Every structure is written in C-alpha cells, then in structure tokens.
Amino acid sequence: MTPPSDMQSKYLDLTTRNIDDLDLKVKYAVTMEEHQANVAENLKLGYPSVQPGDFSDKTLALVCSGPSLKRTRRQIRFFDYILTCSGAHDYLINHGIVPTWHMEGDPRAHKAVFVKHPHKRVKYLISTACHPKLFANLKGYQVAIWHSLMSGEHLSEMDHYPPGHWVLTGGTNVGMRAMVMGRLLGFTQIHIFGMDCSAEDSFHTGDHPNEPPKKKYMTIQVGEREFYTTHLFLSYAKQFFHEILMLPDTQVVMHGDGLLQALVAMKLSDPAQLEEFVGKRDSIQETTVAVMQRPLEEPHAAAV
C-alpha cells in the first residue's frame, strides 16, 4: 500500500523521521496585488522605519500566543525586554505585563483585532504589508514600520522601498519574522515563549479570529508523545529550523511544552539529526536577514 502524502496524512511519526525532509508547501495569505496595495496605502502615513539596536549584552523574551503561554507567562516578568506577536499582546497586558515591542506582519484585515487595545508604553513594529485597518487602530501610538521581503524578490532589487527603510526576510508567520526582528534590534540571546505549533484545547491562549477547525487537525508522534497540529502549523515548525540556521550568531532558548519544543529536543538528542543540523550550521559562512534600502546614488545596501 502506498502511504499517503504529507499533504494528506492525518498521522505522522517524527520520532526518527527528520522534519526537514517533509514536503510542506504553503501559500501566501493574499495576492501580491493586495500586498502591494497595503504597502502603498500604509507608506502614505509617514511612519519612520524600524532601526537596528545594540542589545547584544541583553536578553529578549519573544512571546507568541501558543497555549503553553498560560503556564510560562510568569517567567516573562523577569525579562526587561519583551517582544510580543499576535494575541500575546493583549494576553500579557491583561495579566499585568506590558511588552516593550509588539510586532505584526499578516496582511489580512481580521488581524487588526490584535491591536484593537493598544498601550501607550508599547512600541509597535508593523509591516507595511499589514491591512490599513490595523494601522487605523494604532493612530496616536508609537509606530515604526518595516517591509516584508517576499518570495521571488532579491535583496539587491528593492528600489520600490523608501531609502532608509529596513526590509526583513523570514518565514511565513510573524513569529518567524520576530526572530529576525530580535536580531535586527541587536539581541543575540532570545528566549521564545508560546511558539508551540500545536493545539491543546486550541492553538492560542485566547480568542483568535482564525482558529483552525478541529477537522483540520492531524496527529504528530514525537517519541512517546502525541501532538495535535495542522499542515500549516507543521510547516511553521519546519521553518523554525531554517530560520535558526540563518541566525548563526544568535542563541535561542525554547520555553513551554508543545510540538515545536518536542521537535527541538528530539533534534538535540538524536545523534544523526544533531550531526546534520550542526553540519549545516557550520557550513554557513555569512547570512543576511535584514537589509536597509539606500538612496539610488548609494548602490550598496546596509545589511544585518
């Protein structure tokens, strides 16, 4: 019998199989025309671009909104610098923790709900690809913008971005781009919370406008444990390992308990997977994860 493809299977055993070998293709959430329309509209607002920082001797808590955050949020109080994504913004504020920065990158209109209740002390780092409704919620608050490097674009072909603006590479969700943002801000020590890529009662700590229906759930075996996820969230887990390779000078510590954390532990404990990962990392001479657009008379862009 021919086994089902990774796209169709409702069960996968990743105990010995390397997640890097899975074929997990995903599509961008909107058309390129919609993306570009958002960028053009949001640039009219005149917000400044995010700028690099120098926090190399500091530690950043990068907080996503996976269900494990319910059990780890108290640890976040001990961090002086906090970067939230999506629903983690309201969740932490509602529990008395005000993040330093909040980041959004998804272009769809329903994502505006995540900044429906902004806070004066938070610095909002918002992609110009985001829907104008999201920017409308942030009028009068501290906002800096950045640009999403899209598939098919090249770092040397950025004439459509304003001079002095920063363009970030990264995966297909804001948590992956947030790792790049953390590095752009200067952090080389990043502690990640709530990046589970799996569901308990749901995939998020609180209400979410696009919660996956349970009919889309699939079961992933990792050692003696089973996790519920979807094709999309499994693709995020795969992307994580690629993005870590692109940040070779950055130390990442995972907190909480979920599918991604289990896969990280598996890769660290499996000699074959660990040897392969270390080999890939050691072969990387130099990476570029963020680029600043220079004026036309200065052809070489600044890079991180």
Q: Does residue 5 fall inside a structural domain?
A: no
Q: For 182-230, how does the pLDDT look when each residue is reduced to its tens digit (9 = 90+)? A: 999 999 999 999 999 999 989 999 778 888 988 999 999 999 999 999 9
Q: Using the predicted structure, report yes or no on whether residue 7 has a pLDDT greater than 60.
A: no
Number of structural domains the chain divides into: 1
One-letter amino acid for residue 122 of the chain: V
In a domain, 6, yes or no: no
Whole-number pLDDT of residue 26:
85
Task: Confirm whether 115 is domain-assigned.
Answer: yes
Average pLDDT value over all residues in the chain: 88
Q: Residue range 253-257: average pLDDT?
A: 96
pLDDT greater at residue 161 or residue 245: 245
Q: Give this prediction's pTM.
A: 0.91
* 90-127 pLDDT per residue, tens: 999 999 999 999 999 999 999 999 999 999 999 999 99
The answer to which of 4-8, 113-117, 145-149 has the lowest mean pLDDT is: 4-8
Q: In this prediction, what percent of the chain has a pLDDT beyond 90?
A: 65
Question: Is 119 part of a structural domain of the chain?
Answer: yes
In a domain, 116, yes or no: yes
The 10 Å Cβ neighbour count of residue 106 is 24
Kindly report the number of other CB atoms within 10 A of residue 101's CB atom: 23
Containing structural domain, residue 182: 11-303
| Least confident span in 6-10, 82-86, 113-117 | 6-10
Residue 1 lies in a domain: no
